[in-house]
């Protein structure tokens, strides 16, 4: 049973709703920490938490969900944001990623900005997270192959180098574009000496928070966003945004918001001159930015999808693989052809890879129920299939099945263990 004073502390100080983590997660974390610290009562452990910031960090590490990946939400979203930043008349443009987790979100934006020809000196990205361990991994700039599971052009060749331990290291130039800092999104004094920010990304946070904590985050976002700034959220946040304070703007699929009304004292962050980057700061824009089937899924037609990891064992082996052919057709947006190719492949064999691919095709066709059924079948055949697990997690979260999502997330973490900080 969760000791209730500790439950209340976690809700109040971290804003985390223990129910969102799945039954048993908070009691297990508390049990683990109390055993490690040799205390037996909730009051004694609450005393340790009050006296030692380091103990909070240890408890946080047990509770928070680090899941993130490069270009989560689709490359078109990040290209859109990069275009908005490039047209901005601020110098430098100030960007906030809250929460940034292990860094993939802010680094994706830095990559999209580079590919658009925007120099890293023309913007500053702050990545904020509650978990020191996530920030340490972010600052190291080394990512496992599974961090590149989003569909679309793979950024690794252009911006990363392989490391001896099988990871991918982001170029120093782009690493320096992001500053990682510890911060609590529900703390009223968050970044009180900073801001305003021209662009704020606040994605995949609300699902873990209590309603009161969400209100506190909204108040912080309102304070930290420049008068003419843009806020980018995920559908989970968008559905819960107070419309009297933020109004939707931009392509609906991207979940962008601006202040609903100008408020006295809120500053404009952009300088008044025309927004052009100095020619010396321009890199060559990349011509090959393209949208693939999973980008399409994410941009509003049937939910979300993660990419089959290029380096992963579940990737089809060769173009001769009939499923690989179906996958290529799906990535090219030829959904009917992909489905036909899938059906031909399914005649000869039934596999978890096949059902997972069918799920992706169904997602792209906007049929999330059918997609969920396919991912379920994939997981029946292979309970540890990372691609099917990733999609099912997102589908469950979208349906509000948070306990199931949390259980699947734990399974995914076992299959794709985090690298040490
Ligand atoms: C699922 S990740 C989302 C990361 C990224 N924004 C994305 O969409 O991929 C959630 C992150 O929120 C962080 N987090 C949870 N509660 C927080 C809080 N109160 N303040 C700041 N970060 C928090 C966790 O440590 C975790 O890294």
* Residue pLDDT tens, the chain, 421 long: 455 789 999 999 999 998 888 878 899 999 999 999 999 999 999 999 999 989 999 999 999 888 999 999 999 999 999 999 999 977 899 999 999 999 999 999 999 999 999 998 999 999 999 999 999 999 999 999 999 999 888 999 999 999 999 999 999 999 999 999 999 999 999 999 997 999 999 999 998 899 999 999 999 999 999 999 999 999 878 887 888 899 999 888 899 999 997 655 566 554 322 222 222 222 333 333 323 333 323 322 223 333 333 333 333 333 467 777 777 666 656 666 777 777 666 655 577 888 888 887 777 666 777 788 888 888 878 888 888 888 888 788 777 778 888 888 888 887 766 544 4
Alpha carbon nearest to ligand 1 atom 12, residue = 99
417 Cβ contact partners less than 8 Å away, ≥ 6 residues apart? none
The C-alpha atoms of residue 6 and residue 3 are separated, in whole angstroms, by 6
Altogether, the residues listed in the chain come to a count of 421
Contact of 13 with 50, CB cutoff 8 Å: no
Q: Which atom of ligand 1 is nearest to the CA of 67?
A: 1
Question: CB atoms < 10 A from the CB of 63, how many?
Answer: 20
275 Cβ contact partners less than 8 Å away, ≥ 6 residues apart? 86, 87, 88, 89, 90
Of 78, 97, 99, 237, the residue with max ligand 1 atoms within 8 A of its CB, to mutate for a pocket test, comes to 99
pTM, 2 dp: 0.68
Phi, psi of 155 (to 5 degrees): -80, -5
Q: How far apart are the first and last CA of the chain?
A: 31
Helix segments in 289-351, DSSP class H: 293-298, 322-331, 335-348
Per the DSSP assignment, residues forming a β-bridge with 197 are 225
Which strand (E) or helix (H) includes residue 169? strand 168-170
In the reported structure, the alpha carbon of residue 389 is separated from the centroid of ligand 1 by a whole-number distance in angstroms of: 20
In the reported structure, the alpha carbon of residue 320 is separated from the centroid of ligand 1 by a whole-number distance in angstroms of: 41
Residue 354 tokens, joined = 């096949």
Q: Are strands 197-202 and 225-233 parallel, antiparallel or unpaired?
A: parallel
Helix segments in 87-165, DSSP class H: 104-115, 132-140, 156-159
Q: Is 64 in the pocket of ligand 1 (CB under 6 A)?
A: yes
In the reported structure, the alpha carbon of residue 65 is separated from the centroid of ligand 1 by a whole-number distance in angstroms of: 7
Residue 48 tokens, joined = 């340790």
Residue 120 tokens, joined = 């890293």
């Amino acid at each position: 049973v969760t000791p209730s004073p500790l439950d209340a502390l976690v809700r109040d100080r971290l804003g985390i709703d223990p129910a969102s983590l799945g039954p048993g997660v908070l009691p297990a974390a508390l049990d683990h920490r109390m055993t490690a610290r040799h205390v037996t009562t909730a009051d004694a452990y609450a005393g340790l938490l009050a006296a030692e910031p380091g103990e909070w960090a240890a408890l946080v590490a047990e509770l928070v969900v680090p899941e993130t990946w490069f270009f989560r939400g689709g490359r078109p979203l990040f290209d859109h944001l990069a275009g908005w930043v490039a047209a901005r008349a601020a110098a430098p443009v100030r960007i906030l990623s809250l929460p940034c987790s292990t860094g993939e979100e802010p680094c994706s934006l830095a990559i999209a900005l580079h590919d658009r020809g925007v120099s890293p000196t023309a913007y500053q990205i702050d990545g904020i997270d509650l978990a020191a361990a996530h920030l340490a991994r972010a600052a190291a700039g080394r990512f496992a192959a599974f961090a590149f599971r989003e569909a679309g052009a793979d950024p690794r060749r252009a911006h990363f180098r392989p490391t001896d331990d099988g990871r991918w290291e982001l170029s120093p130039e782009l690493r320096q574009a992001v500053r990682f800092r510890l911060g609590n999104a529900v703390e009223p004094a968050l970044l009180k000496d900073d801001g305003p920010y021209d662009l704020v990304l606040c994605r995949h946070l609300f699902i873990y928070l209590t309603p009161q904590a969400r209100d506190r985050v909204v108040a912080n976002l309102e304070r930290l966003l420049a008068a003419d700034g843009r806020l980018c959220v995920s559908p989970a946040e968008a559905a819960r945004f107070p419309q009297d304070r933020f109004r939707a703007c931009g392509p609906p699929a991207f979940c962008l918001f601006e202040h609903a009304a100008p408020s006295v004292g809120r500053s404009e962050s952009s300088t008044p001159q025309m927004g052009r980057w100095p020619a010396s700061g321009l890199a060559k824009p990349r011509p090959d930015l393209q949208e693939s089937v999973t980008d399409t899924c994410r941009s509003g037609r049937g939910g979300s999808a993660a990419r089959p990891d290029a380096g992963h064992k579940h990737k089809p082996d060769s173009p001769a693989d009939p499923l690989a052919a179906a996958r290529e057709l799906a990535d090219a947006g030829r959904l009917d052809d992909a489905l036909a190719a899938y059906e031909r492949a399914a005649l000869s064999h039934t596999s978890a890879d096949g059902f997972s691919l069918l799920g992706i095709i169904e997602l792209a066709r906007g049929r999330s129920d059918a997609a969920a059924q396919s991912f379920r079948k994939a997981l029946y055949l292979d309970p540890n299939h990372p691609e099917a697990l990733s999609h099912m997690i997102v589908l469950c979260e979208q349906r509000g099945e948070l306990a199931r999502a949390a259980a699947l997330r734990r399974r995914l973490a076992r299959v794709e263990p985090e690298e040490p900080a």
